[in-house]
């Protein structure tokens, strides 16, 4: 997996970081069995997180980490980014709303990587979106509007300050609503770049395609042992990268 050595990724690439959960129907009292949204008749599953290249012709899993009940977001992010940097230079990292929390953003801010995370629509963000409609600024040479503001996120005694961006697309016809998208980022944002950054976030969904491909080629087993299932998962990542 010497991607850099062979010039596969000799320029910086955009990547996505996400968690993939695989439904589990066996014994639930296991450190590697995690709770999750109900899928295929179960609320439990095994999971791994990965960093995937998402805006290149060559699909590549740059790093992967198996998860257990005590894996923290901070450990997950630090480990994945450290390993991924051995193979690719990350120009921009996209994450899901699952990482819209103090712990994740604190870990990301320790890294030089530029990141984008959609904002969770909690009460504070909803108030910011309302403010955005009143204070929106028209983007030059565009129909869109943007609202850019510092945002303080708190949990207990911890807090983190991050840039919050709300982009607003006007209704296309009478009766339609404004198209709203809010995200936080450590990228220096201007009015001109606000919508471009929001549009680039769509690249994250390519990671779901990668997960589906790996699931299709992953070996199947009836054995309950976690290590056997982990071996099959890691083998599917290896085959995906060939």
Residues 210-242: pLDDT tens digits?
666 666 556 566 556 666 666 666 666 665 565
CATH classification of the domain holding 111 = 3.30.420.10
Query: Do 77 and 184 lie in a common domain?
Result: no
- Domain assignment present for 143: yes
Q: What's the pLDDT score for residue 141?
A: 64
Q: What's the pLDDT score for residue 124?
A: 93
Query: Do 59 and 112 lie in a common domain?
Result: yes
Q: What's the pLDDT score for residue 23?
A: 75
Query: Do 64 and 45 lie in a common domain?
Result: yes
Q: What's the pLDDT score for residue 137?
A: 77
Q: What's the pLDDT score for residue 75?
A: 95
- Number of structural domains found in the chain: 2
Q: What's the pLDDT score for residue 7?
A: 46
- Domain assignment present for 96: yes
Q: Which residues of the chain fall below pLDDT 70?
A: 1-9, 56-58, 140-141, 207-242
Query: Do 139 and 112 lie in a common domain?
Result: no
Q: What's the pLDDT score for residue 171?
A: 81
Q: What's the pLDDT score for residue 1?
A: 47
Query: Do 99 and 208 lie in a common domain?
Result: yes
Residue 146's domain comprises 123-195
Q: What's the pLDDT score for residue 229?
A: 64
Distance CA 97, CA 179 (A): 18
Query: Do 63 and 179 lie in a common domain?
Result: no
Query: Do 215 and 167 lie in a common domain?
Result: no
- Domain assignment present for 8: no
- Domain assignment present for 142: yes
Query: Do 42 and 134 lie in a common domain?
Result: no
- Domain assignment present for 92: yes
CB distance 32 to 66 below 8 Å: yes
- Domain assignment present for 168: yes
Query: Do 144 and 174 lie in a common domain?
Result: yes
């Amino acid at each position: 997996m010497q991607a850099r050595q062979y010039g596969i990724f000799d320029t910086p690439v955009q990547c996505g970081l996400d968690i993939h959960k695989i439904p589990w129907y066996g014994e639930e009292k296991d450190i590697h069995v995690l709770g999750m949204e109900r899928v295929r008749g179960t609320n439990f599953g095994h999971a791994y997180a990965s960093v995937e290249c998402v805006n290149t012709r060559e699909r590549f899993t740059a790093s992967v980490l198996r998860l257990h009940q005590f894996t923290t977001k901070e450990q997950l992010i630090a480990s994945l980014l450290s390993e991924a940097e051995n193979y690719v230079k990350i120009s921009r990292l996209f994450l899901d709303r699952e990482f819209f929390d103090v712990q994740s953003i604190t870990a990301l801010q320790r890294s030089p990587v530029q990141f984008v995370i959609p904002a969770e629509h909690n009460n504070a963000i909803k108030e910011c979106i309302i403010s955005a409609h009143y204070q929106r600024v028209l983007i030059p040479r565009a129909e869109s509007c943007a609202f850019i503001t510092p945002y303080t996120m708190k949990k207990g005694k911890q807090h983190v300050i991050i840039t919050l961006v709300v982009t607003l697309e006007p209704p296309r016809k009478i009766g339609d609503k404004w198209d709203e998208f809010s995200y936080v980022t450590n990228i220096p944002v201007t009015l001109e770049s606000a919508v471009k950054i929001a549009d680039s976030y769509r690249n994250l969904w390519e990671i779901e395609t990668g997960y589906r491909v790996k699931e299709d080629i992953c070996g199947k087993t009836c054995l309950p042992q976690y290590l056997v299932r982990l071996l099959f998962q890691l083998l599917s990542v290896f085959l995906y990268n060939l």
